Amino acid sequence: MNVSKISELSCQGLEELNYLLLLLTGLIIAGGIGALLTCVLSYIFGRKLSPILSEIRLARKIDRDIEAFIRNNGPLPIKRYSYSDIKKMTNSFESKLGQGGYGHVYKGNICNKSAVAVKLLNASKGNGEEFINEVISISRTSHVNIVNLLGFCLEGKKKAIIYDFMPNGSLEKYIRNKNLETDPPLSWQRLHHIAEGIAKGLEYLHRGCNTRILHFDIKPSNILLDKNFCPKISDFGMAKLCSNTQSIISMYDARGTVGYIAPEMWNRNFGGVSYKSDVYSYGMMILEMVGGRQNISIEASHSSETYFPHWIYKHVEVGRNLAWQEGMTPEENEICNKMIIVGLWCIQTIPSDRPAMSRVVEMLEGSMDQLQIPPEPFIFTPTKTEVDICTTSSSN
């Protein structure tokens, strides 16, 4: 083989080798780019999916915690229903009775006989505490003035609570009545009966149960009325259980509704949180029952001229025999004045100055002559924003 032939073969071999090296280099670069791209995409999708995965893990943990809590506090004396049972008894949620921040309430039937109210909780609502509070708290009660819990559903994110159906709805619609034809005003005798019933229900929660139950959200919309207008305390989502010997309880958040929150709930300088906080809310509510109007208006300032308890206190000072409405009988006037004085005692600023609910029952059932007008309370109700700020700072 001559030299030129050998040189030609060598050049060809070098070209093939260079080609292979270039191909290998390209593959290495492509692989690196692919790996880098994979890492970038994984990072991007990881950040996108992380909150979703965290939410799923949290939801599963909450469900496990609820199941464990129910097991540890069981067996519960109420029936557990499946979600398909809930759909069946509400006819696929055909008739909605109301709604709120907790979810929606639907009318239903059990075995096509007994009418029930089914409260379907929002899947994303809170950490499950409200559901636990409702189920555990009410399942431990048995009183004519406490709503009767019939069952519950806990199936993943689907949570529901089943109550007796209350045909007359809530007390709120009779106090803030906008349709006098369909919902005529309640008589003074009936208002007095309702005020007594609520007081007895609260007395039972505070002293009649094996475990004291503090409601923390007493207001007209949480008082349901049966066919005979017998009041039933409902909605225990903010309730707290404590021992009967525990006078002051630890709270890390402000609970309740603006207009009914006791001063110590948002500012501990007024005193410790206790069952007297429910007494305050009750007092604001029965004053509202007398006034037939809201205690607080978003448009109004918090001055004494626009704030109802101050206004009503000044009128009580004028005289006990003051007629609040034209055409009132002496009996109706006495009921009205009695409810006002009891309400003013209940909203005293310092918790220790407020009566226990047992004393409230005595005052409502007793004679007007035995009641003294209380000192005028110093009242300031925080705005919604102020309560939120208090809650946030207390939680940190």
- For residue 380, the domain's CATH number is 1.10.510.10
| Residue 241 sits in the same domain as residue 372 | yes
State whether the Cα torsion 250-195-360-142 is positive or negative: negative
| Listed residues 164, 187, 216: the one ending a domain | 164
CB 119 within 8 Å of CB 99: no
| Residue 207 sits in the same domain as residue 305 | yes
CB 381 within 8 Å of CB 243: no
| Residue 261 sits in the same domain as residue 376 | yes
Per-residue confidence (pLDDT) for residue 231, from 0 to 100: 98
| Residue 269 sits in the same domain as residue 342 | yes
| Listed residues 164, 188, 211: the one ending a domain | 164
DSSP state at residue 161: E
Q: Are strands 149-155 and 79-81 parallel, antiparallel or unpaired?
A: parallel
215's CB contacts (< 8 A; 6+ apart) are 202, 205, 233, 236, 238, 239, 278, 281
| Residue 151 sits in the same domain as residue 200 | no
Per the domain annotation, does 17 fall within a domain?
Answer: no
Count the domains in the chain: 2
Per the domain annotation, does 2 fall within a domain?
Answer: no
DSSP state at residue 392: H
CATH number of the domain enclosing 94: 3.30.200.20
Per-residue confidence (pLDDT) for residue 293, from 0 to 100: 47
CB 232 within 8 Å of CB 201: yes
| Residue 236 sits in the same domain as residue 143 | no
* Owning domain of residue 153: 79-164
Alpha-carbon torsion angle 125, 129, 131, 135, nearest 10: -170
| Listed residues 164, 197, 219: the one ending a domain | 164
| Residue 88 sits in the same domain as residue 182 | no
Between CA 74 and CA 69 the distance in angstroms is 8
Catalytic amino acids?
A: 217
| Residue 237 sits in the same domain as residue 264 | yes
What totals of helices (H) and strands (E) does the chain contain, helices first?
11, 10
| Residue 122 sits in the same domain as residue 211 | no
**Is 12 in a helix, a strand, or coil?**
helix
Our CA angle for 79, 85, 91, nearest 5°, is 130
* Type of residue numbered 41: L
CB 116 within 8 Å of CB 150: yes
| Residue 201 sits in the same domain as residue 318 | yes
* Residue 234 dihedral angles phi and psi, to the nearest 5°: -135, 180
CB 119 within 8 Å of CB 159: no
Per the domain annotation, does 68 fall within a domain?
Answer: no
How far, CA to CA in Å, does 386 sit from each of 62, 239, 307, 393? Answer: 29, 21, 18, 11
* Residue 140 dihedral angles phi and psi, to the nearest 5°: -95, 0
| Residue 159 sits in the same domain as residue 207 | no
Per the domain annotation, does 40 fall within a domain?
Answer: no
Per-residue confidence (pLDDT) for residue 325, from 0 to 100: 61
Q: What is the mean pLDDT of each run of 10 residues along the chain (396 residues)?
A: 54 65 72 71 63 60 66 71 94 88 87 87 68 79 92 86 93 78 82 97 91 92 95 90 76 77 86 93 92 50 51 66 67 89 93 96 92 78 48 39
| Residue 348 sits in the same domain as residue 222 | yes
